[in-house]
Structure 1
Amino acid sequence: MHTVEPGDPETHSKDLVAENLEQLRKIFPSAFTEGKVDFDALRELLGDAIEDGDEKFGLSWFGKRNARRVALRPSTATLLPRPEESVDWDTTRNVMIEGDNLEVLKLLQKSYANKVKLIYIDPPYNTGKDFIYPDSFQDSIRNYLELTGQTGVDGGRLSSNSETSGRYHSAWLDMMYPRLTLARNLLKDDGVIFVSIDDHEVHNLRSVMDEIFGPENFVNAIIWQKVYSPKNSARHFSEDHDYLLVYARNADKWTPGLLPRTAEQDSAYKNPDNDPRGPWKAGDLSARNYYSKGTYSITTPSGRVITGPPPGTYWRYSEQTMREMDSDGRIWWGRDGSNSPAVKRFLSEVKQGRVPQTFWPYSEVGHNQDAKKELLQRVKFATSDSVFDTPKPVRLLRRVLTVATNPAESDIVLDFFAGSGTMGDAVMQANAEDGGNRRFVLVQIPELTGYQDFPSVAEITKARLRSASETVISAQGEAEVGFRSFSLGEGNIVRWDTTQQDFEQQAFEQIENVRQGRSDQDILFELMLSQGLDIASAVETRVFARIHVFATGGGLLFACLPPSDSINKGNVEEIAQGIIAWRDELEPETDVTVFLKDVAFADDVAKANLVAILEQHESPFVVKSV
C-alpha cells in the first residue's frame, strides 16, 4: 500500500511541466542529460528550425513570461460538492463550478483533457474598468478566497485596469493567456473554441490565440450584429457589432455543422415540368476548367444544333454522360425544347442544411436587449438592474451549438466565463428540442454584486440554471437538465507545512488529517479529480460491516473513508470481500484503485490484513491511503 505524500500526483493538479518534459523525452531522448534538458543538444537536433535572433515576430508584453509560468504551476485546491445547491444531483451530467477559472481549469486537466468538443467564452472585455480576477499567484487559492470574501475579510478587491494605466493591455493579456493555454489542453482533436470579443482587444486576442492554438488553426472571425438600432449618441460611429474568434484544436479535423435551410433558399426550387422527383433548380452545365471530353456539339429536342459550350468554357460532363442524364430526365431544355442544356438539381438531393456564414445578424441570433429580457424572465431580481450590461442571447449560443456540436454525441461544452449561465440554458433547450445528449461544464467566479437577493454573480448563474431546468421540464417532459454544483476550496487533506516552526503542535493537529468540516463526499470528489475521473460520474454507496464504501467511474475507484479507529480486525474481512465482490460485479476494464483513510484503522494489524486481502486477489487492487 502506498501512502499519499506531499508532492504525489494525488495532492495537486496535473503537472504540465513534467508532462511536457516526458513528451520531449520520448521524441528526443538524446537531448537529456542527468534528467535535465541539454539545450545545445536540442538545438543540434532541431537544426535550422531554431530561431536565434533577438527580434522575433509575435506579440510581446511585460508580464508574458510570468503568464506562461502561472499556467504551468499545479494547483493544490479541490472542488467541493454542493448537492443542496444542485438540481438532479444523482442523475444529471451537467456541472456548475463556483470559483476562479484559472484554478478550476488546472483541476480539470486530468479529468477532461482532450474530451471537450466546444469551448465558448465571453470574457470581460477590456473596457478600461476593473475586472475581478486574482492578481497575485504566490498562493492563488488563498488569494482567491480572500478576493471573494470567503476568509473573513471584506473581499471584492479588484484587478485595476484603468485606461490610464501603463499596463492597460498587459493586465488583460496576463489574465487571458494562462486560461487559454489551459483551455486548449481540454479540447478534443476535432474540438473548437469560440471567443466573444469587441474591437478593443480583438487584434491582441488574435495574436495570442495564434501563438497558443497555431495560426494554421484559425477558422474565422464571425461578426455578430449585437444591437438592433444605431446609437445616435456615439461620438464617431455607432458600435453595432462584436466578434467571435473561432479556432480549432486541429483545423484539418474540425468541420462545422450545417445550419437549417431557409424558406427563401427552398423557394428557388420549382417544378415547371411536374417531375415526380419534386422541385428542382437549373444549374449551369458549362465549366471554365479544361476537360478533354468537354467539347462537342449538342442537338436540342427541337432540332437546334449547339456547336459547343460558350467560348472559353467546356461542357461539365462527357457526351456519353450527357446522353444518360438526358434519358433520365435530368436535363432541362427550356419549355420549347430549344434552350442550351441545364442540369436539374433536385431539392431532395441537396445538402440538408446551409454552410455557416461569417455575418450573424440579430434577426437570426438575437441582440443584447433580447439577452437582458431572457435573463429577467429566468431570474427574478429585487431591482430592475440585472448586474449584466451585455449578456449574450440564447439564440446566439444556440447557433454556436448548431455549428460546433453533434446532437447524437455526448459532446461536452465548456464555458469558463459563465456569467449569467446563458450557455447552460442554451444547452438544455437545444437537447430538449433535438433530443441531443450535449452536456455542459460552467465556471463562474463568485464576484460580489452588492445585492442581498444575489450576493454574487455565481448565485445568479445557479438561479438561472434552476429556472431553465424547471422551464424545460415543464415544456418538454423528459430532457437532459439539472446540474451538479461545486465550489473551489482548499484541499481536504491537511498536508505537512514545512514553513511552520512548531512541529510538535503541527503533528498534534494532524492526528486527524482531514480539514475540519469536510465530509467523506468532499474527499471522494478530490480523489476522483486526482485519478482523472469525470466529476459527473455516478457515485454508488454500499455498506459492509456498518462501514460505508463508495464506488465510482464504473468501478475504477473505490473509497473507504470512515471515522478514526472504525476499521478493526473484527470487520476487515467483510469489508475487503465486499469490495472484491462489488468490483467483480462492475467488471472495470483497467486497474482499480482503492483509497483508504489512514486514521480509520484501529491498528496496523487491521490495515495490513485489509491491504493483503485486496492486493493478493486474482485481479489485484492498487491500494493507497490518505
Structure 2
Amino acid sequence: MNPSESRGCKNVPEFEDAIENLDREDLIKLARSLLSNGVALSFHGKRSAMEIARRVRPRIMRREPKLHVGSPAEQARNLLVEGENLQAMVTLYKWRGQVDLIVTDPPYNTGNQFRYNDRWDVDPNDPDLGTLVSKEDGSRHTKWIKAMMPRLQMMKAMLRPSGVIAICIDDNELFHLGMMMDEVFGEENRLGIINWQKSAAPRPDNKHVSTSTEYVLVYAKDMTKARTGSLERGEDDNRRYANWDNDPGGDWREGNLTAKTYSAKADYAIQSPFTGELHYPAGNGAWRHTKKNIKSWLSEWGTPYEERGIRDGKEKALMVVGAEPGKVPSEVRERALEILKKGPWPFVWFGRDGQGRPRVKTYLEQIKKGKVPVTYWADDDFSGDEGEVEPTETGAVSWDYTESGRSSDGVSELTAIVGEGHGFTTVKPLKLFSKIIQIWCPPNGLVMDPYAGSGTTGHAVLELNKTTGATRRFILIEQGSPENGDKYARTLTWQRVHNVISGTRPGSNSAPPLGGGFEYRLLTKTIDARAVMTMKRDELIDVVITSHWENHRRTAPNLQRIDEEGYQYLIGRDETGEGYFLIWNNGGPVGSVDLDSYKVVAAEAKRAGIKPPFHVYARYEDFQSPNVRFWKIPDKILAHLGLDENERYNHDDEAA
C-alpha cells in the first residue's frame, strides 16, 4: 500500500519519479514481497529508512551525578537517558536482547506533536528532532513512517526472544503502524489490538463518529516464547460472588449456560422442574455443557430426567420423567422448592425463586486467581466448560475507562505530582500502563520506554514494585523539546519520577514515597577509537560503567561507580561484588597492566572487600594473573558498544 498523500494530484509526479528511480534491487525486493505476502508497505525512501538503524553510531553516554536519584545500588537498577531515542538505543548495546517489555507512546501524527528531520536520510546521526510536521503537509504520513521504521527495528533488537512490545496509537496512523508492525515483527506475532476508552463521554471532535477511544498494538518478538500473565484480583472483582445456598464449594456467581457458538446437537429444550416451561439456548447459541452432564445436574432437583422427542424440530429435549411440556406434577415442584429453600442448589439452577431460565454456577475458587485480558474486564470474568483453562491470547480487546483510565486521568495525575504549567494536554493514564506491564513483563523483568514523555512508564514500574513486591527495572529515553529550550528529560520526566520516588509534591504537600532510584545519563558526541583515547579519566570511567557487558552473563551487569577518595584504579563494582579497575597514569594516558599496577589493584581490592576476578581496563597487558580479566582499551569498549572490527583502534602509536 502507499501512504495516503500519494493519492493527491500535486504529489503524483513526485511519486512517479520515485518509482522510476527505483533500482533493480529495489524492484526485485518489491516484487518478491508482493508475490510472497500479497500485501506490502511501500513508500518513497523505504530503502534508506530500512538501513538507517545500521548507520547510526553509538554516542558517549555521560553520567550526570547531580541528577541521579536514590542510593548507589538503587541508581544502578534504572536509567533515564537524555537524547535522541534511535541513537540512545544504538548506544545501549549492552541491553540488546535484554528487555522484557517495551511500552511506549510515540508522537501521534496530528499536526501538533510529530517532528521530522529531513537530514536523517543523509546523516541519521544528526540529533536534531527537526521541524513540526503540520496536518497540511502532503508527505506527513511518509515522514512519520520513515521516522518510525528504524526505531521499530531497534526496539525489536532490544527485546528478549520472549519479549513483547506494546505501542500506543490513535486513528491517524493506526493502519500504517499496523502494517509496519506486521512487517518488522511478523503478523504471526501479533498478540492483540487493545481498544481503550480514553474519555468517559463521547468527544465532539468528529462530525461523523466520535473518537473516544485509542489503541495499543501488542506484538511478541516470538509468539512461541512470549507469555501473557494475569492481574491480581481485588475486592471489586469478587464483589459479585456470594454463597446464597450454603454450597460447600464456596462463593459463586451466576454463569451462562448458553455458548456463543452453535451446535445442532446441543440445541434442544430443557424443562424447568418448577414451572414445566421449556427453555432453549439464548439467541443463536447452544448449551455449553454436555447433555449427559446437564441431565445429571437437573436430576439433582429431586426428580429423574429423560431424553424425549417433543416434535419441535430440535434434538430430543431433557424432560422431567412423566411430565408434559409446560406442566410438571405438583410433587415434582414441591421437591424442587424444598431443595431451593434448604440448599445447596445443583450446578444448573433456575434463579433464586426458581422462576427463571436455567443457568450455571461459576465458583470463585475455580476461577483463575488472576484476571486475563479477555473481553470487557469491567463486566466479565471468563468462565467456560468445566475444567477449561482460560485463554492467554488477547485478540481484539476493549477496555473501558474504569479498567484503563482516561487521558484526563493521566493529565490530573501528572499535575498532582509536578504541579500546574507542565504543558501536557494528553498523558497516558497510569492505570493503562500498569496493566500492560503486569500482563507482559515478569515481576523481575526490564521495561523500556523509548518515548518516555512525562515518565508514566517509570512511575508505573515503581508503583507496581511498591504495591506488589515486584522488582522490575526501567530504561526511559527522552529528548524533549530543545527547540523551545526545554529538554524535558531533565525537567518534566526527571521531576515526575523523582517526585514519586521521594514523595515530593508541589508546594508543601507530600505523598508516601515509592522508593527506588535511577541514574541520569546524557548522550554527547559520537564515539570511536580516537574519541576513547582522548577522553579524560572521568569521561572514560563513565563509558566503562555504562557500556560494560559480558557474553557469558544472562543479563548485563549493573555497575555502580565508586568515587571514594584514596583509590587510584578502582572505579566500580557490580551487584555480585566483582570490582572494576581502570589503569590510568596519574592524569596522563591510559596505562598498562604490569606488576606494579597489579599490586595496586590487589591492594585496593583488599581494602574495598573485593575478591577476584578483578576486571581491569588498560591499554596493554604486560603482566598476566589468573586473578585478572583484562579488557583492552579501546578495543573492548568499542566492542561493548557493538562496533565491529573495522571500528577498532589503529594500534600504531603514531595514530594514537
* Structures share fold, TM-score greater than 0.5: yes
Task: Measure the CA separation in 1 of the matches of 2:305 and 2:434.
Answer: 51
Residues 275 and 460 of structure 1, relative CA distance in 2, 3 Å threshold: same
Deviation at 1:444, TM superposition (A): 0.4
Task: Measure the CA separation in 1 of the matches of 2:298 and 2:51.
Answer: 74
- Whichever residue aligns with residue 120 of structure 1, its letter is V
Query: Which of 347, 356, 370 is matched with 1:353 structurally?
Result: 370
Deviation at 1:283, TM superposition (A): 6.0
Residues 264 and 420 of structure 1, relative CA distance in 2, 3 Å threshold: closer
Partner of 1:405: 441
Secondary structure of the 1:251 match is coil
Task: Measure the CA separation in 2 of the matches of 1:399 and 1:445.
Answer: 26
Partner of 2:622: 612
Partner of 1:152: none
Residues 449 and 228 of structure 1, relative CA distance in 2, 3 Å threshold: farther
- Whichever residue aligns with residue 460 of structure 1, its letter is L
- Whichever residue aligns with residue 594 of structure 1, its letter is V
CA contact (8 A) 1:333 1:339 kept: no
Query: Which of 578, 583, 592 is matched with 1:560 structurally?
Result: 583
Deviates more, 1:483-492 or 1:95-104: 483-492
Secondary structure of the 1:243 match is strand
Task: Measure the CA separation in 2 of the matches of 1:313 and 1:583.
Answer: 83
Deviation at 1:54, TM superposition (A): 10
Superposition CA RMSD, Å? 4.2
Map 1:328-339 to 2 at 5 A: 331-332=346-347
Deviation at 1:618, TM superposition (A): 3.5
Q: Please say if 1:158 is aligned against 2:158.
A: no
- Give me the TM-score of the superposition, normalised by structure 1: 0.70
- Whichever residue aligns with residue 582 of structure 2, its letter is A
Partner of 1:365: 404
- Give me the TM-score of the superposition, normalised by structure 2: 0.67
Residues 339 and 440 of structure 1, relative CA distance in 2, 3 Å threshold: closer
Residues 458 and 449 of structure 1, relative CA distance in 2, 3 Å threshold: farther
Task: Measure the CA separation in 2 of the matches of 1:340 and 1:466.
Answer: 56
Deviation at 1:107, TM superposition (A): 1.6
- Whichever residue aligns with residue 171 of structure 2, its letter is D
Query: Which of 559, 565, 572 is matched with 2:597 structurally?
Result: 572
Task: Measure the CA separation in 2 of the matches of 1:299 and 1:413.
Answer: 51
Deviates more, 1:331-340 or 1:468-477: 331-340
CA contact (8 A) 1:94 1:439 kept: yes
Query: Which of 86, 90, 94 is matched with 2:72 structurally?
Result: 90
Residues 469 and 50 of structure 1, relative CA distance in 2, 3 Å threshold: same
Partner of 2:473: 439
Partner of 1:125: 108
CA contact (8 A) 2:160 2:221 kept: yes
Partner of 1:537: 559
Map 1:314-463 to 2 at 5 A: 331-332=346-347, 345-356=362-373, 357=375, 358-381=397-420, 384=421, 386-406=422-442, 409-448=443-482, 450=484, 456=488, 458-463=490-495
Task: Measure the CA separation in 2 of the matches of 1:494 and 1:297.
Answer: 79
Deviation at 1:87, TM superposition (A): 0.4
Task: Measure the CA separation in 1 of the matches of 2:590 and 2:218.
Answer: 55
Q: Please say if 1:169 is aligned against 2:141.
A: yes
Deviation at 1:80, TM superposition (A): 1.0
Map 1:188-587 to 2 at 5 A: 188-232=160-204, 234-261=206-233, 266-281=238-253, 300=299, 304-308=303-307, 312=315, 331-332=346-347, 345-356=362-373, 357=375, 358-381=397-420, 384=421, 386-406=422-442, 409-448=443-482, 450=484, 456=488, 458-471=490-503, 475-476=511-512, 479-491=514-526, 495=530, 513-515=533-535, 519-528=539-548, 534=556, 536-540=558-562, 546-552=568-574, 554=576, 555=578, 558-562=581-585, 563-564=587-588, 571-578=596-603, 585-586=610-611
Residues 448 and 567 of structure 1, relative CA distance in 2, 3 Å threshold: closer
Partner of 1:105: 89
Residues 529 and 135 of structure 1, relative CA distance in 2, 3 Å threshold: farther
CA contact (8 A) 1:96 1:484 kept: yes
Task: Measure the CA separation in 1 of the matches of 2:190 and 2:541.
Answer: 42
CA contact (8 A) 2:403 2:431 kept: yes
Query: Which of 80, 97, 108 is matched with 2:62 structurally?
Result: 80
Deviation at 1:70, TM superposition (A): 0.6
CA contact (8 A) 1:449 1:456 kept: no
Q: Deviations over 1:490-528 (max 9, x none)?
A: 1566628xxxxxxxxxxxxxxx93246953432323542
Q: Deviations over 1:519-560 (max 9, x none)?
A: 343232354269898474334468888444444474385433
Task: Measure the CA separation in 2 of the matches of 1:309 and 1:471.
Answer: 70
Q: Deviations over 1:422-446 (max 9, x none)?
A: 1111211121111111111100013
Deviation at 1:254, TM superposition (A): 2.8
Task: Measure the CA separation in 2 of the matches of 1:128 and 1:227.
Answer: 21
Count of residues in correspondence between the two structures: 515
Deviates more, 1:192-201 or 1:266-275: 266-275
Residues 396 and 76 of structure 1, relative CA distance in 2, 3 Å threshold: closer
Q: Please say if 1:625 is aligned against 2:633.
A: yes
- Whichever residue aligns with residue 76 of structure 1, its letter is P
Deviation at 1:71, TM superposition (A): 1.4
Deviation at 1:458, TM superposition (A): 4.4
Secondary structure of the 2:517 match is coil
Deviates more, 1:55-64 or 1:439-448: 55-64
Residues 552 and 559 of structure 1, relative CA distance in 2, 3 Å threshold: farther
Residues 99 and 274 of structure 1, relative CA distance in 2, 3 Å threshold: same
Residues 354 and 200 of structure 1, relative CA distance in 2, 3 Å threshold: same
- Whichever residue aligns with residue 113 of structure 1, its letter is R
Q: Which runs of 5+ in 2 are unaligned?
A: 1-24, 259-265, 267-286, 319-343, 376-396, 635-656
Map 1:29-108 to 2 at 5 A: 57-88=39-70, 90-92=72-74, 93-108=77-92
Deviation at 1:165, TM superposition (A): 3.2
Task: Measure the CA separation in 2 of the matches of 1:297 and 1:360.
Answer: 38
Residues 77 and 573 of structure 1, relative CA distance in 2, 3 Å threshold: closer
Residues 204 and 341 of structure 1, relative CA distance in 2, 3 Å threshold: closer
- Whichever residue aligns with residue 67 of structure 1, its letter is A
Identity among equivalent positions (%) equals 27
Residues 202 and 547 of structure 1, relative CA distance in 2, 3 Å threshold: closer
Deviation at 1:583, TM superposition (A): 12
Q: Deviations over 1:105-162 (max 9, x none)?
A: 1122x32222212111111111134633544244444x21xx3xxxxxxxxx724533
Task: Measure the CA separation in 1 of the matches of 2:308 and 2:526.
Answer: 76
Residues 278 and 376 of structure 1, relative CA distance in 2, 3 Å threshold: same
Secondary structure of the 2:200 match is coil
Task: Measure the CA separation in 2 of the matches of 1:223 and 1:513.
Answer: 52
Task: Measure the CA separation in 2 of the matches of 1:225 and 1:340.
Answer: 33
Q: Which runs of 5+ in 1 are unaligned?
A: 1-38, 44-48, 148-156, 316-328, 497-511, 599-606
Q: Deviations over 1:562-615 (max 9, x none)?
A: 521696989435225447879995456xxx75311x4xxxxxxxx6xxx233x2
Deviation at 1:346, TM superposition (A): 2.8
Residues 582 and 134 of structure 1, relative CA distance in 2, 3 Å threshold: farther
Task: Measure the CA separation in 1 of the matches of 2:317 and 2:46.
Answer: 57
